[in-house]
Structure 1
Amino acid sequence: MEADLERWLKEQKITEVECVVSDLTGIARGKISPVDKFIAEKGMRLPESVLLQTVTGDYVEDEIYYSLLDPADIDFICKPDPRAAYQLPWTIEKTALVIHDTYDRNANPVPLSPRNVLKKVLGLYAEKGWKPVVAPEMEFYLTERNPDHDLPLKPPTGRSGRPETGRQSFSIEAANEYDPLFEDMYDWCEMQGLEIDTLIHEEGTAQMEINFLHGDPLELADQVFVFKRTLREAALKHNVVATFMAKPVTNEPGSAMHLHQSVLDLRTGKNVFSTEGGEKSELFLSHIAGLQTYIPSLIPMLAPNVNSFRRFLPDTSAPVNVEWGEENRTCGLRVPVSSAQNRRVENRLPGADANVYLAIAASLLCGYIGMVEGLSPSAPVEGRAYERRNLRLPLTLEAANEQMEQCPVIRRYLGDLFVEGYVATRRAEMENFKRVISSWEREFLLLSV
């Protein structure tokens, strides 16, 4: 495989390689290397601390930091995955991005690496003779460029010379307003082998959704990881901004990362969610039950930021519980109408801001635990599920962090080091957020209290 990667780099006349790993937030961190050095070294080293950085670039508290990592701030070893190499279409020099796997000095996978967490969950399925299949749906907003963080975001000007107003769900003409941007996006995705499918205009003003074709969870996580950057670059080329914030615009719907998931039998290739007669299998119902039981303890991996929980406020079009129902978009868990072979469940709770490796890992892990424990789900919901008070989610990131931290089942599967490190980064970001005075406080408290 290394020879194949080296040959590909030479055939594409690549001169630079971006060697990257995903941190816990989903930010690409790494080094840019001349191609000859990349080929010669066959990897790189990064400080362990990279995996405990927050979105602001800060680190967790020293006491936690030194309890989880070597106090000497040693390096971990990064090895390129030849199956995760992409040529970047927007660079001046011919550049490739290569995603790396991370190992400690004893060649063990680093527990804090999001890609390793997903591979660990996929390994659990493989041990049972199962293969999960996923199809992500990514929602995002297009906005004007805005250098002032205190000013609200505005929709960008389209081809007509006018910004979009109102909500234009599924409008073809509204999506066509940004055709030059989306043509570049599709061309660039095709060049990189990103298997995107349909584009739709979502409910919010200048809010869109891109659907990915179903496939292998690790490959699709890599593709979404690369896609988010690809879309941002295409937007910048056209002087607009693309954002995957969960709730970037006041009084507009939030952006989700809906995950369709099913499980195949490795031996037969058949969907284990269906019986031979084409009915719902016990494994399918247990998978749903696992999602219902354990999603509340893994919400920080699906809604990782303080902004994430703004999606779950009343009247935001997002589900706020783990109820399930057939063709019911008001439930957190929707079962679309499909053939027996394509039977699946759609997890509608992850935000577009979630680290894709961790969101897929969390969603699949919940279903896996339900399957191996033989759990039973609640009755499916008919009608609106928004107002249902049972099976609700934690309402704040603080509460969600505490629930994840205190769940022994999650610790058993993901390990103490990952759970403590991940929760610590969420808490560090919360502390940073609390230090910022908001425009709401200035508007309503400045002269009134």
Structure 2
Amino acid sequence: MINNEIELKGWLQNNGITEIEALVPDMTGNARGKILPASKYLHGEGTRLPEAIFIQTVTGDWPDDEAIDNLVHPADIDLYLKPDTKTVRMVPWVEEPTAQIIHDCFDANGNPHPLAPRNVLKRVLALYEKEGLQPIVAPELEFYLVQKNTDADFPLQPPVGRSGRAERARQSYSIDAVNEFDPLFEEMYDFCDAMELDVDTLIHESGAAQMEINFEHSDPLSRADQVFLFKRTIREVAMRHDVYATFLAKPMQHEPGSSMHIHQSLIDLSSKKNVFTTGDNEHSETFKHYLGGLQRYTPDAMLFYAPNVNSYRRILFGDAAPNNTHWGIDNRTAGLRVPISSAESTRVEARFAGSDVNPYLAIAASLACGYLGIKNKVQPSDPVSGCAQELPSNLPKTLEHSLSRLQEPNELSEILGEDFVRAYMAIKHKEYETFFQVISSWEREYLLLNV
């Protein structure tokens, strides 16, 4: 691990690095930044980017001026980037020796910029540190491999594997179905090893060419960083094998949606013990309050778990997506699952987030909900042992509904930062407006000559 900029310079020189990718995760969770010669990076005056990158929508548009008034400077001033030296990694798919480094964003006075998603997560983690607690998380990320698609009007299709055939039947946990894409996944693991990503189990999920990659449990910032980097990596690997990897939450009409489940627990900083369990291996009051917070505040936080119009197709029509905030012991039909485990591994698995989330914001929102539960001593409901999906829904069902939930005054916005929440909502309002301007094929099919 590289702990400071002096060690970073030595690492770059020792590895013969000629280029640097200075990365910043944007609101969507994609990489923005600059590619610089290593000599300029080492001896320059630092890297900067326009502040406005944090108010740009996924379509490249900008929210209305009044929506972002006082959130960014009208002169479109610079952000100041500082490398997090712990994140330096090789870029294994390029020919020239290249390093990628995730950067934090600051204003001209050296203050963390409130709109940077990585800073939002750090803000939540600082609250836990004041309480003497360290959150631990382990993401499980689903994605699809699909045929290359250069026509946006053409539905996505499963890719052809080694057998020369595309999947048609459901292949949950099939080893042979994963082996259909062995060359792709062998290169994926090679790249992950070169980047020191802590990927664990790879499984085939229930959709056609739908996969899940699990990450080892660790601190939330490093896990968000690794999800961010893994998405870049698997997209690159897939294209090298003439297919796409997509994290769209519901990419195909008749296939299940893709999620990012977040396993989470809390460690006492002094004793290093899991505070979710008592000495006699019962669930602690802290566990109950944390769980209660996830139940109470998740409906307000859904914009961070379901950030796109497509996200709600997973919630409404996904085979296994949760539709409420009930919890249960080893119950995968509940939005909050508590796996059967040893005392030190006691945790909650929040199953709300789609694979299309910004990992920094989804993890920050989940931890913020749990934090509010602890501070407000929220008691959870009784656990559900049957099918929780048959119980009434209490989650927003559209992007518009999630926007209205977050717009109301709430404690969640105070924790995440009110300026950040305003900016995020302005972006999502603009994206929804842009989406709604598109006339769909369904409207042409059923309304053109019938109304």
TM-score bracket for this pair, using the shorter chain length:
over 0.9
- Please say if 1:199 is aligned against 2:195: no
Q: CA deviation at 1:104?
A: 0.7
Confirm or deny: 8 A CA contact 2:158 2:209 kept in the other structure: yes
Question: How far, CA to CA, are the matches of 1:276 and 1:218 in structure 2?
Answer: 29
CA distance in 1 between partners of 2:326 and 2:226 (Å): 29
CA contact (8 A) 1:23 1:114 kept: yes
Secondary structure of residue in 2 paired with 1:19: strand
Helix, strand or coil at the partner of 1:68:
coil
SS state of the match for residue 142, structure 1?
A: strand
Asked if 1:220 corresponds to 2:226, the answer is no
Matched, 1:154 2:193: no
User: What residue in structure 2 maps to residue 250 of structure 1?
Assistant: 253
Letter in 1 for 2:362: A
Deviation of the 1:41 alpha carbon: 2.6
Secondary structure, aligned partner of 2:319: coil
Are residue 420 (structure 1) and residue 409 (structure 2) matched?
no
1:372 is the counterpart of 2:390? no
Report the Cα distance in structure 2 between the residues aligned to 1:338 and 1:346, rounded to whole angstroms. Answer: 12
SS at match of 2:424: helix
Q: Which amino acid aligns with 1:8?
A: W
- CA-to-aligned-CA distance 1:207-240 (integer Å, 9 cap, x gap): 0000000011101111110000100001000000
Inter-partner Cα distance in structure 2 for 1:43 and 1:247? 40
Is 1:444 aligned to 2:442, yes or no? Answer: no
Which residue identity lines up with residue 443 of structure 2 in the other structure?
Answer: E
Alignment partners' CA distance in 2, 1:174 and 1:238: 17
Structure 1 equivalent of residue 285 of structure 2: 282
Look up the equivalent residue of 1:277 and give its one-letter code: D
Deviates more, 1:24-33 or 1:433-442: 433-442
Q: Which amino acid aligns with 1:199?
A: L
Q: Distance in 2 between matches of 1:116 and 1:42?
A: 22
Higher alpha-carbon deviation: 43-52 or 139-148: 43-52
> What letter corresponds to residue 317 of structure 1 in structure 2?
A
* CA deviation after TM superposition for structure 1 residue 59, in Å: 1.0
Aligned match of 2:30: 27
Say if 1:127 and 1:397 are closer, same or farther in 2 by CA, change over 3 A.
Answer: same
Q: Which of 394, 403, 406 in structure 1 is aligned with 2:405?
A: 403
Kindly provide the amino acid, as one letter, of the partner of residue 175 in structure 2. I
Equivalent runs, 1:326-405 vs 2, <5 Å:
326-389=329-392, 392-405=394-407
Say which SS state the counterpart of residue 279 (structure 1) adopts.
coil
CA offsets 1:319-362 (integer angstroms, 9 cap, x no match):
11111000100100000000011000000000100000000000
Shift in Å at residue 92 of structure 1? Answer: 2.1
CA distance in 1, matches of 2:42, 2:389: 54
Matches within 5 A, 1:250-269: 250-269=253-272
For residues 93 and 66 of structure 1, the distance between their equivalents in structure 2, rounded to whole angstroms, comes to 43
Alpha-carbon deviation of 1:95? Answer: 1.3
Contact 1:297 1:404 in 2 (8 A): yes
| Aligned counterparts, 1:42-121, within 5 A | 43-121=46-124
Deviation at 1:407, TM superposition (A): 3.2
Q: Which amino acid aligns with 2:371?
A: Y
SS of the counterpart of 2:105?
strand
- Give yes or no for contact 2:303–2:406 (8 Å, CA) kept in 1: yes
Return the alpha-carbon distance in structure 1 between the equivalents of residues 131 and 368 of structure 2.
Answer: 13
Q: Distance in 2 between the 1:3 and 1:436 partners?
A: 51
Q: CA offset at residue 87 of structure 1?
A: 0.8
Contact 1:42–1:80 (Cα < 8 Å) also in 2 = no
AA matched with 1:172:
I
Q: Does 1:272 align with 2:275?
A: yes
Task: Tell me how far apart the structure 2 counterparts of residues 42 and 81 of structure 1 sit (CA, whole Å).
Answer: 16
Give distance in 2, aligned partners of 1:27 and 1:63: 26
Deviation at 1:365, TM superposition (A): 0.8
C-alpha deviation, 1:134, in angstroms: 0.3
Identity %: 55
| Greater displacement, 39-48 / 136-145 | 39-48
Change (3 A) 1:362 1:234: same
In the alignment, structure 2 segments of 5+ residues that lack a partner are none
8 Å CA contact retained: 1:202, 1:208:
yes
Please report the TM-score for the alignment, with normalisation by the length of structure 2.
0.98
Q: Does 1:188 align with 2:191?
A: yes
CA offsets, 1:48-95, max 9 Å, x none? 110001111111111123331111111111111101111111112221
Letter in 2 for 1:371: I
Query: Unpaired segments of 5 or more residues in structure 1?
Result: none
Partner of 2:431: 429
Per-residue Cα deviation, 1:86-145 (whole angstroms, up to 9, x for no partner) = 111111222111100001111111111000000011111100000000000000000000
How big is each residue's C-alpha offset from its partner over 1:298-320, in whole Å with a ceiling of 9 and x where there is no partner? 11111100001111114532111
AA aligned opposite 1:434: F
TM-score calculated relative to the size of structure 1: 0.98
1:11 and 2:5 aligned: no
Deviations 1:22-49 (A, max 9, x none): 1111111111110011111363111111
1:323 aligns with 2:294: no
CA contact (8 A) 1:68 1:421 kept: yes
Preserved contact between residue 42 and residue 79 of structure 1 (Cα < 8 Å): no
- The one-letter amino acid paired with 1:34 is P
Q: For 1:322 and 1:271, how far apart are their aligned partners in 2?
A: 24
- Tell me if structure 2 keeps the 8 A contact 1:43–1:80: no
Q: How many residues end up aligned between the 2 structures? A: 448
CA–CA separation in structure 2 for the residues paired with 1:291 and 1:41: 45
Distance in 1 separating the partners of 2:409 and 2:267: 28
| 1:291 aligned to which of 277, 290, 294 | 294
Q: Give me the whole-angstrom Cα distance separating, in 1, the residues matched to 2:402 and 2:215.
A: 29
**Residue 406 (structure 1) shift:** 1.0
Match of 2:321, SS state, is: coil
**Which of residues 286, 307, 311 in structure 1 aligns to 2:310?**
307
